[in-house]
Amino acid sequence: MTLPKKRSCLEEIKPYVPGKPIGEVKRELGLQDVIKLASNENPLGPSPRAQEAMREAIPEVNYYPDGNCFELKKSLAVYLGVEEEQLIIGNGSDEILKLLAETYLEPGDEVIMPQPSFSEYEFVTRIMGGRIKYAPLKSDFNYDLQTLLGMVSERTRFVFICSPNNPTGTIVDQQSLDEFLQALLPGIITVLDEAYYEYVTAKDYPHSIDYVKNDKPVIALRTFSKIYGLAGLRIGYGIAPFSLIQDLNRVREPFNVNHMAQVAALAALEDKDHVNRSLEMVEAGREQINVGLQKMGLEPVPSQANYFFVDTGVDSQELFHAMLRRGVIVRTGDIFGFPTYIRVNYGTSEQNERFLTALQQAREELT
């Protein structure tokens, strides 16, 4: 078979490698009991109200979904205190990242992203033929916005700031971000990826919506995949000035968010009890895993998210497979450039205890 020559930028794209699915581990290793703490998912699952809303929506899936996500936007606008025209709903916030690249990036344009951080920024840039400048985090994994600012050029179109950052869990503070945006050249969009913002307890966490209300070239990205437990439905949203949203809608597919995702997200947004239970679980899990790691002599990066990034002192791939054999899935740090680190999200109390036991046994096996 003869195919056309593919675009040259595809050679630079590394396919995304997701956290290993539970079913795959069971098949490969013949295990019956496996827990996954690799993808920062909510172990409590979706809210009861979201589940009921989906059951009621089943007879309606013969119709195309509402391409404008009218009801969800209406509810989100009230919840966030913004205008409906300042919202865009996507097939996960990943899709909105891709829409941004398709809208504003020409071949040779530049973006700046922290390192380590979420690999999707790299993917959406490469696929449009853009160039990436990596801004290393400080030695304590906090942001160095001054270094990032020094990388800006006339070709810069985006600056990606993931806060809390994936995989480190660190954040950028309000004052630093204010100063950064004040110094940034005009015509550059700051993408604030806030997928984990619901978990943040720091008092100096930025109020990103204020930038939008003040018509700054900023888009804040949030998701229903994490605290709302709807990762399998793929639904997220962006908050930005109206003119930016208008541009994105020019390249958005007409039915990009399926009906089931819309009704589940709408119900989940209204289920405050489930969100509170999820937050309580995360706060308890953060303490439980932190104490357990420190008893092993390990010091996780202080995190504002629902996961820890920690140096285990052994090869993360070897540790990953040793823990798989014990039915525990974690995320290796080598994919982020840190070969002895792992990322682990907090689970239920029982899952956290199982993780700590498996980690201790696996490290003893490898040392």
Residue 346's CATH number? 3.90.1150.10
Residue 223 or residue 26, greater confidence:
223
Is the pLDDT reported for residue 17 higher than 80? no
Instruction: Classify each residue of 201-219 as buried b or exposed e, where b means 16 or more C-beta atoms within 10 Å of its C-beta.
Output: eeeebbebbebbeeebbbb
With a cut of 90, say whether residue 5 has pLDDT above it: no
Are 22 and 116 contained in the same domain?
Answer: no
My answer on whether 326 and 282 are in the same domain is: yes
Same domain for 325 and 242, yes or no, is no
**3-state SS assignment for residue 220:** strand
User: 270, 298, 320 — which closes off a domain?
Assistant: 270
- The answer, yes or no, to whether the previous bond of 116 is cis (omega within 30 of 0) is yes
Residue pair 44/240 in contact by the 8 Å Cβ criterion = no
pLDDT category at 200 given cuts 50, 70, 90 is: very high
In the structure encoding, which two tokens stand for residue 90, read together?
């996507």
Distance CA 289, CA 258 (A): 37
Of the given ranges (24-38, 225-239, 337-351), which has the lowest mean pLDDT?
Answer: 24-38
Q: Are residues 36 and 86 in the same domain?
A: no
Is residue 322 located within the same domain as residue 191? no
Average pLDDT over residues 189-210: 97
Q: What is the average per-residue pLDDT within 302-329?
A: 97
pLDDT at 257: 98
At residue 29 the predicted structure's pLDDT band, cuts being 50, 70 and 90, is: confident
pLDDT of 110 reads: 98
148 and 233, same domain (yes or no): yes
Those residues whose C-beta lies under 8 Å from the C-beta of residue 156, and which sit 6 or more positions away, are: 109, 110, 111, 112, 133, 185, 188
Is 186 a member of any domain? yes
**Residues across the chain:** 367
- 117 and 155 part of one domain: yes
CATH number of the domain at 116, please.
Answer: 3.40.640.10
Judge residue 295's burial from the number of C-beta atoms within 10 Å of its C-beta, 0-12 exposed, 13-18 middle, 19 or more buried.
exposed
Q: Tens digit of pLDDT for each residue in 38-95?
A: 999 999 999 999 999 999 999 999 999 999 999 999 999 999 999 999 999 999 999 9
Rounded CA gap, 28 and 311, in Å?
Answer: 27
Mean pLDDT score, 14-25 = 80
- Comparing C-alpha atoms, which of 268, 263, 288 is closest to residue 278? 268
Looking at the structure, do residues 237 and 96 belong to the same domain, yes or no?
A: yes
What is the model's pLDDT at position 331?
97
Least Cα distance to 116 among 58, 165, 46 occurs for: 165
Q: What angle, rounded to 10 degrees, do the helices at 259-270 and 48-57 form?
A: 150
CA distance 297 to 210: 41
Q: Does a structural domain hold residue 10?
A: no
User: For residues 140 and 162, what is the distance between their CA atoms, to the nearest angstrom?
Assistant: 16
User: Is residue 3, in this structure, part of any structural domain at all?
Assistant: no
Q: Are residues 111 and 205 in the same domain?
A: yes
Structural domain of residue 168, as residue ranges?
A: 48-270
- The pLDDT, as a whole number, for residue 210 is 97
Based on the domain organization, do 78 and 213 belong to the same domain?
yes
Give me the percent of the chain exceeding a pLDDT of 90: 91
Band (pLDDT 50/70/90 cuts) for residue 3 is: confident
- Total domain count, the chain: 2
286-308: pLDDT as tens digits = 999 999 999 999 999 999 999 99
Label residue 75 exposed, middle or buried (CB < 10 Å: 0-12, 13-18, 19+): middle
- pLDDT tens for each residue of 143-180: 999 999 999 999 999 999 999 999 999 999 999 999 99
The CA distance from 158 to 178, in Å, is 17
> Which runs of consecutive H residues, i.e. helices, occur in 58-92?
70-80
pLDDT of 133 higher than 90: yes
- Residue that terminates a domain, selected from 221, 243, 270: 270
Residue 122: pLDDT over 90: yes
Pair 38, 185 in one domain: no
How confident is the model at residue 9, as a pLDDT? 83
Tell me the per-residue pLDDT of 266-276, one tens digit each, with 9 for 90 and over.
999 999 999 99
Last residue of a domain, one of 245, 270, 295: 270
The least confident of 23-37, 153-167, 175-189, 276-290 is 23-37
In a domain, residue 9? The reply is: no
Q: What is the DSSP string of 293-346?
A: HHHTT--PPP-SSSEEEEE-SS-HHHHHHHHHTTTEE-EESGGGT-TTEEEEE-
- The reply to whether 37 and 75 lie within a common domain is no
pLDDT tens digits, 353-367? 999 999 999 999 998
Residue 35 has pLDDT above 90, yes or no: yes
Which tokens is 120 given? Answer: 């999707």
